[in-house]
Amino acid sequence: MILLDRVTKTYSKALGPALNRVSIHIEPKEFVIVVGQSGAGKTTLLRLLTREERPSSGKIIVGGIDYDKLKDKDIPMLRRKIGVVFQDFKLLPNKNVYENVAFALEIVGASGYEIKNTVPKVLQIVNLKGKDKNMPLELSGGERQRVAIARAIVRQPKILIADEPTGNLDPKHAWDVIKVLEKINRFGTTVLLTTHNVAIVNKLKRRVVTLEHGKIISDRAHASYKL
Amino acid sequence: MKRAIITFFRILQTGIVNFIRNFSISIAAIAVMVVTLTVLLLSLVVNATFSNTISQITAKIDISVYLRNRDTPSQTTQLITELKSLPNVQSVQYLDKSQVLKQYEVQNANNQQLALAVSETSNPLPATIHIKPKNLNNIENIKSFLVKPNIKDLQSNPPSYSGSLEKAINNITHATDVLRELGIVAVVVFGVICALIIFNTIQMAIFNRRDEIQIMRLLGANKNYIRGPFIVESGIYGFLAAVISVVIINSLFVTASSTLQATTLGLLNISYATSYFDNHFLILLTLQILIGIMIGAVSATIATRRYLKFKLKP
């Protein structure tokens, strides 16, 4: 599903590579956690997968799409196949919960009927039923993050990338978000989660890839993690 | 196809919503576009009015060639044929002596003494050929033809060129040309200023909506979906500016002709300009709207290409 082969990304020669010959292979329906300190290269890794950045060298293949052959005009099509959740939610403040989720469908030309049918179902999956008229500022951090997850999965992507989705949340809300991600994974979506929340990593008992200074220092199934 | 249509209407709807939301920052762009389109419309109407004035005066002007009484019909026919073949000749009209006399009597019907003087003699007026040139500024070839010795021999008197009117027409034509050039320069200058202000407005709108644009990109919105609403928004500036400019010009003519009761304003024939504007109202309105929308859309397309970076660098 996701293949990175000796991927290097250098922003500036003086600073050295943000990612250094990183190779990962993620199977369909896997739940993989990428851990590491700030500056380890987690966000760079995710930005390469969403094609916000190009690698300096190496090969990336996601869902059968070889990024070397991907033209700039095809990037929107790639992003429609990947759901992304951000630490800072990235919700539109002037749209309510329903509209924020519907927005992901609107930009791909979904009909009003399709939107009316799909959005309530997705809001139910992320346990936000009844909150559809609320504005983002009226919600708690955990609820906002679940809106962001709903928006990411509303187009039923095969892959969901979550970049520190619990970074701004207290433990209770953080765990609510993780439970939603697990539920989505059970439906068959490949989930790639970055975090440095040790408690979550140890409780989930999933495959853990550890990054340090842009290099993978461990890649173990059902692993626990220590800072 | 269905998705493309839905997307098109969403872009249109978003553009209209964004226009309403950002109305305050778009006022400068609309104002300068109103000035540009007003200058353009005024230039069009003034140009049409001057062209009409010139053609009206030109229609009254001709070159008269006075023939000798002893010229034979074949000589006259040959002269008419040769005159018709000259490049700048629009029409040639031959009047024999009796027709010239009738014309004279009609023209001097109010002056009985003159009419009596002519009728009492044996018609001293010569047969005449009236030549209408196509372009009054270029009658040299006709003049040089008429002074050829063999042609001059057929004439009783030197030809008449309606000299004073020719000079007046030259002046009007020159003034029209200058005004037309000034109009073009003004439209170009205001057009460039207009485009720069629209660039600035769109740049501000892009800055205000940078978070929304980033989210749209990350969610997989394509270039046209992001750019489209900005183009629609600028198109609305153009549409509004066009309507306002037509209203301004209309008010100007209404004020000049009814309130001030003026028929002319300097060289400008207000009555004709007003009737030209009324008769071509729909065409002018459509033209203004199309030009306004085009200026807005083209400026926004260039601005979004410049300020919305769609290319990734490795």
The alpha carbons of chain A give a radius of gyration, in whole angstroms, of 17
As for the ipTM of the complex, it is 0.84
Question: How many CA within 13 A on the CB side of residue B186?
Answer: 18
Each residue's pLDDT tens digit, A115-135: 999 999 999 988 898 899 999
CA distance B69 to B192: 66
CA distance B173 to B61: 15
The answer to whether residue B73 sits within a structural domain is: yes
Residues B145 and B185 in one domain: no
C-beta separation of A51 from B312 below 8 A: yes
Nearest partner of A89 among B208, B214, B229, B221, judged by Cα: B214
Domain holding B112, by residue range, is 62-161
Which pLDDT band holds residue B104 (cuts at 50, 70, 90)?
confident
What are chain A's domains? Answer: 2-92+157-220 (3.40.50.300)
Instruction: Judge: A55–B314 Cβ closer than 8 Å, yes or no.
Output: yes
The answer to whether residue B255 sits within a structural domain is: yes
Q: Nearest C-alpha of chain A: how many angstroms from B17?
A: 12
Which pLDDT band holds residue B55 (cuts at 50, 70, 90)?
confident
Question: 3-state class of B95 per DSSP?
Answer: strand
Which pLDDT band holds residue B87 (cuts at 50, 70, 90)?
confident
Question: 3-state class of B60 per DSSP?
Answer: coil
Q: Which amino acid is at B101?
A: L
Residues B119 and B245 in one domain: no
The answer to whether residue B260 sits within a structural domain is: yes
Sorted by sequence, the CB contacts under 8 Å of residue B137 that are 6+ apart come out as: B169, B170, B173
The answer to whether residue B183 sits within a structural domain is: yes
Residue from the list A51, A55, A107 with its beta carbon closest to the beta carbon of B225: A107
* Domain endpoint, select from B161, B195, B227: B161
Q: Which helix (H) or strand (E) holds B129?
A: strand B128-133
Question: CATH no. for residue B107?
Answer: 3.30.70.3040
Residues B188 and B283 in one domain: yes
The answer to whether residue B257 sits within a structural domain is: yes
Instruction: Judge: A54–B314 Cβ closer than 8 Å, yes or no.
Output: yes
The answer to whether residue B314 sits within a structural domain is: no
Instruction: Judge: B218–A53 Cβ closer than 8 Å, yes or no.
Output: no
* Domain endpoint, select from B161, B184, B218: B161
Q: Residue A117 has what pLDDT?
A: 93
- Percent of chain A at pLDDT > 70 equals 97
CA distance B6 to B8: 5
Q: Which of A72-81, B100-109, B114-123, B259-268 has the lowest mean pLDDT?
A: B259-268
* Secondary structure of chain A in HEC code, one letter for each residue: CEEEEEEEECCECCCECCEEEEEEEECCCCEEEEECCCCCCHHHHHHHHCCCCCCCEEEEEECCEEHHHCCHHHHHHHHHHEEEECCCCCCCCCCCHHHHHHHHHHCCCCCHHHHHHHHHHHHHHCCCCCCCCCCHHHCCHHHHHHHHHHHHHCCCCCEEEEECCCCCCCHHHHHHHHHHHHHHHHCCCEEEEEECCHHHHHHHCCEEEEEECCEEEEEECCCCCCC
Instruction: Judge: A77–B220 Cβ closer than 8 Å, yes or no.
Output: yes
Nearest partner of A178 among A126, A117, A129, judged by Cα: A126
Residues B42 and B183 in one domain: yes
Phi and psi of A71, rounded to 5°?
Answer: -90, 160
* Domain endpoint, select from B161, B178, B195: B161
Nearest partner of A35 among A185, A177, A207, judged by Cα: A207
CA distance B231 to B298: 8
For residue B4, which residues of chain A lie inside 8 Å, CB to CB? 109
The answer to whether residue B312 sits within a structural domain is: no
Angle, helix B281-307 to helix B163-208, in steps of 10 degrees:
40
pLDDT of B164 strictly over 60: no
Instruction: Judge: B219–A109 Cβ closer than 8 Å, yes or no.
Output: no
Residue from the list A50, A108, A109 with its beta carbon closest to the beta carbon of B218: A50
Phi/psi class of residue B128: alpha, beta or left (left: φ > 0; alpha: ψ in -120 to 50)?
beta
User: What is the average pLDDT across A93-118?
Assistant: 92
- Percent of chain B at pLDDT > 90 equals 13
Residues B149 and B177 in one domain: no
Residues B298 and B186 in one domain: yes
Residues B99 and B219 in one domain: no
C-beta separation of B128 from B95 below 8 A: yes
Predicted TM-score (pTM) of the model is: 0.71
Residues B233 and B145 in one domain: no
| Residues recorded for chain A | 227
pLDDT of B119 strictly over 70: no
The answer to whether residue B235 sits within a structural domain is: yes
CA distance A40 to B16: 45
B94 beta partners: B129
Residues B151 and B279 in one domain: no
Query: In this predicted model, which residue has the larger pLDDT, B174 or A208?
Result: A208
Nearest partner of A49 among A190, A179, A165, A178, judged by Cα: A190
Q: Residue B189 has what pLDDT?
A: 86
pLDDT of B181 strictly over 70: yes
Q: Residue A82 has what pLDDT?
A: 92
- List the A190-195 sheet strands across, edge first: A82-85, A159-163, A190-195, A31-35, A207-212, A215-220
Residues B69 and B127 in one domain: yes
**Chain B contacts to A (CB-CB under 8 A):** 2-4, 6-7, 10, 211-212, 214-223, 225, 310-314
For residue A92, which residues of chain B lie inside 8 Å, CB to CB? 211-212, 215
Residues B73 and B219 in one domain: no
Residue from the list B10, B215, B310 with its beta carbon closest to the beta carbon of A92: B215
Residue from the list B215, B221, B313 with its beta carbon closest to the beta carbon of A76: B221
CA distance B9 to B2: 11
C-beta separation of A46 from A7 below 8 A: no
Tokens of A125: 């999956």
| Residue labelled with tokens 């408690």 | A199
Nearest partner of A150 among A126, A132, A185, A169, judged by Cα: A126
Residue of A72, A86, A107 to mutate, testing the B interface (most B Cβ within 10 Å of its Cβ): A107
Residues B186 and B89 in one domain: no
For residue A12, which residues of chain B lie inside 8 Å, CB to CB? none
Angle at B219 between CA B217 and CA B224, to 5 degrees: 45
Phi and psi of B5, rounded to 5°?
Answer: -65, -45
Q: In chain B, how many domains are there?
A: 2
